[in-house]
A = this chain, B = another copy of it.
Amino acid sequence: MKLSEGVEWAIHSCSLLAALPTGAALPTRKLAAYFELSETYLAKNLQLLSNADIVTTRKGPGGGYALAKAADAISLLDIVEAIEGRSPCFSCTEIRRRGPTGIGDEAYKRPCGIARSMWKAEKAWRDELAKVSLHKIQAMALEETPDAQLEKAKIWFEEALA
């Protein structure tokens, strides 16, 4: 069980976008450059964010990506689900119905106890992710980023938005 790389990429990208001045946007090329990531593959992940209405896009020169809503209205869960999808990690294949003791499908009404337990745990995970806003992520990043990096980031932004 591993989350895809794209989840980390997407969170960092959103966190960076959260720092943009109103009205500004960053294109794939610049986002990829900032994090030193594959431009084409990052583009795919940004598309997922776009389809999930987490970011908005503007085509053409000067265009790019920006957050679609306030950073405190976007949660880690939103981002994780945009990238990973919404299907449960645990999937019950109804093993209980199989084999020599299994009986007709109509006999099994509720989801089995195993699935219910696994799904409950998964809900705890999602609930916890839902509690963390992008705003909080950005605030933590701001606080823990070394001053030297903040300086360089400031200069990079000026150039990128010029």
Chain A residues with a Cβ under 8 A of chain B: 1-5, 7-9, 11-12, 15, 33-37, 76, 84, 89-93, 95-96, 98-103, 107-108, 110, 112-114, 116-118, 120-122, 124-129, 132, 136-137, 140-141, 143-146, 148-149, 152-153, 156
CB < 8 Å neighbour of A113 from B3, B34, B96, B141: B141
Contact B149 A34 (CB under 8 A): no
CB-defined contacts of A96 to chain B, threshold 8 Å:
12, 141, 145
Contact B117 A7 (CB under 8 A): no
Contact A95 B144 (CB under 8 A): no
Q: What's the dominant secondary structure at chain A's contact region? A: helix
Known: A3-B118, A112-B140, A113-B141. 13 other contacts (CB 8 A): A1-B4, A2-B89, A8-B114, A35-B98, A36-B99, A36-B102, A101-B149, A113-B137, A113-B143, A114-B141, A117-B132, A121-B128, A124-B128
Q: A101-B153, A127-B124 are in contact. Are A114 and B1 (CB under 8 A)?
A: no
CB < 8 Å neighbour of A152 from B34, B103, B121, B124: B103
Report the separation of the CA atoms of residues A132 and B118 in the bound assembly, to the nearest whole angstrom: 9
CB < 8 Å neighbour of A1 from B1, B33, B116, B118: B1
